[in-house]
Copies of this chain bind each other. A is one copy, B any other.
Amino acid sequence: MARITGSNGERTALAIRHAALRLIHRHGFAAMSLRDLAAEVGIRPGSLYNHIATKQSLLFDLMHEHMTTLLAETDAALAAAGPAPLDRLRSFIAHHVLYHLERKREVYIANFELRALDAANAARILAMRHDYEARLIGLLEEGAAAGVLATADMRVTAYAMLAMLTGVCTWYKPSGRLDRAAIVALHTDLALDGIRR
């Protein structure tokens, strides 16, 4: 055996990334062996190296692509929103929750596998995460300046909101009781007005 009939580089590379997302999400990066990954894809361990440089770079690429997409889509959502601070904030929240519902694996990995990256790679991902946080903090400041939002500590408030809005991807199952619109609405209400009647 050698090169397999019908084999295609791009398709295999995609399958590797997809399988890696599943395995890392389920077992963690350190607990995913390249032998497991190769078996999931249906190739031999050594063949992975036709498509990835190292295990470390595979993880970094997955995280980097996710952060790039998240930032771009967020900016698009904000650009499409109305000018009112509250509308912009609603738009951010809706996009964040929907994105996290649809790509829970990528999100989970980007949030919890930072420690598996080496120092240089971790720094790059962290910088992108700070960019993302800065967008929300900016929206909170806009709202405070316009007088529609409470003016407590912006940074910690943003952290708390992001934690709440991101939490959805730890329990969400597409087959669940609530549909996506309901989940978005519930989280928007919680963030804006809390649980007190």
Which among B150, B156, B161, B162 is the interface contact of A196 at CB below 8 angstroms? Answer: B150
Pair B195/A192 contact, Cβ less than 8 Å: yes
Give A105 Cβ to nearest chain B Cβ, in Å.
13
B contact residues around A194 at 8 Å (CB): 189-194
Copies in the complex: 2
Pair B156/A160 contact, Cβ less than 8 Å: no
Instruction: List 20 A–B pairs whose Cβ atoms lie within 8 Å, in order of A's numbering.
Output: A27-B115, A86-B196, A150-B197, A152-B186, A152-B189, A153-B178, A153-B182, A153-B186, A157-B190, A157-B195, A160-B186, A160-B187, A161-B164, A161-B190, A163-B163, A190-B194, A191-B194, A192-B194, A192-B195, A193-B196
Pair B186/A28 contact, Cβ less than 8 Å: no
Q: How many residues of A contact B (CB 8 A)?
A: 45
Give A144 Cβ to nearest chain B Cβ, in Å.
8
Contact with B along A173-194 (1 / 0, CB 8 A): 0000010001100110111111
Give Cα A94–Cα B191 distance, bound, in whole angstroms. Answer: 19
